[in-house]
Amino acid sequence: MILSTRGRYGLKMMLELALNYGKGAMPLKDIARKQSLSDTYLEQLISPLRKSGLVNSTRGAQGGYELAKQPSEIKVGDIIRVLEGSLAPAQCVLEEEPECSKADYCATRLLYEKITESINKVIDSISLKDMVDDYYMLNNTNNKRRSENE
Amino acid sequence: MILSTRGRYGLKMMLELALNYGKGAMPLKDIARKQSLSDTYLEQLISPLRKSGLVNSTRGAQGGYELAKQPSEIKVGDIIRVLEGSLAPAQCVLEEEPECSKADYCATRLLYEKITESINKVIDSISLKDMVDDYYMLNNTNNKRRSENE
DNA sequence: TGTAAATCCTAGTTTATTACTAGGAATTCA
DNA sequence: TGAATTCCTAGTAATAAACTAGGATTTACA
């Protein structure tokens, strides 16, 4: 499994905020309830998202969170990198000056670089807007669960 | 980090065996020494590789391990999947009948499927032979460390 | 035929990471 | 003022990762 709950729950949260985009602040408890997740845990995850400028918060009663930019301007990669760190297969790919003390390290590093590049290409090409579009597409054609549930 | 030491050490081992391909069995201690890794730990990793038919073993004195197929026939993906399991971002991608109880699960699942597909494309297109070629290419142009060291 | 060099197997142990929970301070609207 | 909320720090419990230990089995070779 590449993503831990941090990344997976974080993506769900951000999708929820994207669905709510333009409708004002959404309290964390609402997000947690909609996704059946622990709100105290989500609190831990949304904190770095706020600090990295992806979401804005409003404190106090009637407060909550909202996206800091348009959904189309937030890439899945931005979210994942904040919550999981870089999705590299090995440390050496992340270093400025990787010390490949043996040549065979480099042969595996080439591989790791190719994997990293390929993952980044995907997660940096998909925005929250794309996910919202997918969401509505799935919702209208395959099922009506959301409207039934809520 | 996508790969744990299992995958990373496993790849190193297999690259070592690929470099030794055609020269008979190579004892695990030699591999461990060349890669500066614990041989008792590598023992644990090579066991599933043998059981999955990627390496053959010869027991007893003068025994060791060798690739069960030509390096060109062993893909990096074969090795990684044996040692790490499938590189999927989330469980639901691996399931036959993923139960997306809410539609938004599906929107993230589409994303996970795209990531999975992209990773598989890379790791299933690179063989041990490719890595060996990279190894010699790096060794001849960038450095001579290996020949100095051994 | 004995011995050293190997693989093979099972079961531990330690360390690190993940996945949370708890409690309370600060802020803001009604 | 009081309820609803974010914000912050520190803990804890559970799980997974990264090894280690010990011994049984096999085999080449002197």
Cβ <8 Å between B131 and A111: yes
Q: Encode pLDDT of B25-69 as tens digits.
A: 999 999 999 999 999 999 999 999 999 999 999 999 999 999 999
Which of B92, B102, B117 to mutate against chain A (most A CBs within 10 Å)? B102
A135 versus A103: the higher-pLDDT residue is A135
Token reading at A31: 């997000």
Q: How does residue A10 score in pLDDT terms, banded at 50, 70 and 90?
A: very high
Cβ <8 Å between B149 and A102: yes
Decide: CB of B103 under 7 A of nucleic strand D. Answer: no
pLDDT at A103: 59
Strand C, nucleotides < 7 Å from a protein CB: these are 4-11, 18-23, 26-30
pLDDT at B147: 41
Decide: CB of A6 under 7 A of nucleic strand C. Answer: yes
Below-50 pLDDT ranges, chain B = 143-150
Token reading at B58: 């010869």
**B113 contacts on A by Cβ (under 8 Å):** none
Q: Does position A144 have pLDDT exceeding 50, yes or no?
A: no
Q: Does position A102 have pLDDT exceeding 60, yes or no?
A: no
Q: Encode pLDDT of A14-33 as tens digits.
A: 999 999 999 999 999 999 99
- Give the contacts of B146 (CB within 8 A, at least 6 positions apart): A102, A103, A104, B139
Token reading at B49: 């590789």
Q: Does position A150 have pLDDT exceeding 90, yes or no?
A: no
Distance from residue A96's CA to nucleotide C23's C1', rounded to whole Å: 42
Determine the residue type at A64.
G
Cross-strand partners of B26: B65
A122 versus A94: the higher-pLDDT residue is A122
Q: Does position A146 have pLDDT exceeding 50, yes or no?
A: no
**B146 contacts on A by Cβ (under 8 Å):** 102-104
* CA A107/CA B141 separation, integer angstroms: 13
> Which nucleotide is the nearest neighbour of B9, by CA and C1'?
D18
CB contact at 8 A, A118 and B121: yes
Comparing A8-12, A44-48, A55-59, B105-109, the range with the smallest average pLDDT is B105-109
Cα–Cα distances in angstroms (integers) from residue A38 to residues A32, B38, B77, B128, in the given order = 6, 41, 36, 45
pTM of the shown model: 0.91
CB contact at 8 A, B119 and B76: no
pLDDT at B142: 52
CB contact at 8 A, B41 and B65: no
Give B136's DSSP letter.
H
pLDDT at B141: 57
Cross-strand partners of A64: A58
